[in-house]
Every structure is written in structure tokens, then in C-alpha cells.
Structure 1
């Protein structure tokens, strides 16, 4: 996983030259770009380091009978922009999950134990890093930052 301090060291002096309104506009566009990258990565079912997500467990007792439609994808709705929020202001950029889905995302992000259903059994979930910054994300953010500053 890439280190955000490198980007902060690179961009800090450049951002100090901008006015707060300019920093807020830049932060909002960087947050949207970062959210787009996260959505694409979650759709491709990969962790930030490029490894694929741990596959779903197979359920032998209640396995569906008949035709199975393709490969069961995880986090189809979770990656939508109504759940994955991006915000940016003059002080910083943030991308994260909101509401009840934030709890689901946290369980998968850190590989925690959680109930499968209300009053149901508890299961240990595999770690699947939904949020994270990769090297390509850092490069894209640097390019967007330089493009904004060169205007």
C-alpha cells in the first residue's frame, strides 16, 4: 500500500500557495477522482495491493438448485456513490462509507467477526480491503494536482 505522506510532502508547499477557495475546489475534484478509482477497484474485486479479494464461502446446506447466473460478485451496491461518499474542503480529502453500510464495510476491511443475520450465528469474515490507496492512485492524484496547478 502506498504511503500518503509522500504525496503530502510533495503537495504541501504547492498547496500553501493556493487560496482556501482554490484548495477546496481542488480537494473536491481529487476526492471524486479517488472515489472513482476505489469504485473501479472494488468492481474488479481487488485489494489495493493488486491481490484478488478472498472468495465467498460456499454454503453446502442451502445451496441453490438449478442454474447459477455467472460468478456472484460482492459489494455491488456498496460501491455506488450513494454509499461511498467523497468530500473535500480546504483542510483535506476524505472518501468513506456512510450509514449502516459503513459497519459492513468495516467488518470486511479489517476481517472482523459479525453476525450473519440479526439474532443469527456469528461468523469470521475474510479481510477484503475495500478502501486503500495504491501506487497508481497516488500517481493519478499527483497528475491531477499538477494539472490543476498548471492552469
Structure 2
């Protein structure tokens, strides 16, 4: 049984005791904290399993300055969204930016520019569950139940 399934079986009876308003308030807190956790992990350039992202390829053009960290804009609140309601929580990329994120997350092929070459990107898992995230959700649920 995976850690997420264990979390689900542990949390389900506790969540059923909460009303829809309380579940929505808890879901908001969890989604915001998960987004913060994902953003921090992306900034550290780590996959959910703790391994480092594949390094960037060498650059063909000279004189161009690159940012030190990858995905600096992608991890902003504008693109890394937290969605929630009384029954679900989701943190990830939605809309047009999800296409770009999927290419990097799974290591797919994509064009650099509309008329540019087709490039195979390295796999860099942008969003995923870590042990810390599972512990965070458990702690937030316990904290919410203890406060209420």
C-alpha cells in the first residue's frame, strides 16, 4: 500500500466528521501549504524522491546570461496554482502553462520555438508527493481537529 493510500484511509473517517465549511477551510490551508512546499522543492531543484534535477545542457550561444535556477517564473503563484473545495485539493499547473510543465515533468519532446528544432527535454518532476508533504497533511488535519 502506498503512502498516499495509507494517508487516505487514515484521513477519510476524520474528514467525514467535518461539515462542508470546515472541510473547505481545511482544504484551503492544505492546498496553500502544499503549494508552498512544491515551490520550495522546485527552487531547490529536487525531484520528489530527493534526487537532483538533471542539469541544463551546455549553451550554443555565447554572451547570453542565464538564470542560475530553472523554473523561476514557473514556480510563482501565477502559474503554480492551488485549487480546493470541500471534497478535493489539487496543487499544480493549469491551463496553457500545464503543457510546458508536462513536457519537463515527463521528459517529452517539444519545439523550442514555433519554427525551431524539436528537442527532447530531460525529466524533471515538478510536482509530486514527498514524505514531508504527507506528514504536513497529517499535521494540518490533526491541528485543525484539535482547534475545532
Q: TM-score, normalised by structure 1?
A: 0.91
Give the equivalent residue in structure 1 for 2:93: 97
Q: Which runs of 4+ in 1 moved over 6 A?
A: none
Please give the per-residue CA displacement for 1:48-89, whole angstroms capped at 9, x wherever unaligned: 1110100110023x1227xx67x6210000000111110111
Separation (CA, whole Å) in 1 of partners of 2:44 and 2:68? 12
**Gaps in structure 1 of 5+ consecutive residues:** none
Structure 2 runs not aligned, ≥5 long: none
Superposition deviation, residue 108 in structure 1: 0.5
Secondary structure in 2 matching 1:123: strand
CA deviation after TM superposition for structure 1 residue 119, in Å: 1.1
In structure 2, the residue matched to 1:47 is 47
Q: How many residues align?
A: 146
Deviations 1:22-71 (A, max 9, x none): 111101110000000000000011001110100110023x1227xx67x6
Mapped partners of 1:3, 1:86: distance in 2: 21
Tell me, yes or no, if structure 1 residue 77 matches structure 2 residue 73.
Answer: yes
Q: Secondary structure at the match of 1:150?
A: helix
Matched with 2:117 is 121
Q: Tell me by how many angstroms 1:90 deviates.
A: 1.0
- Which is bigger in relative contact order (C-alpha 8 A, separation at least 6)? 1
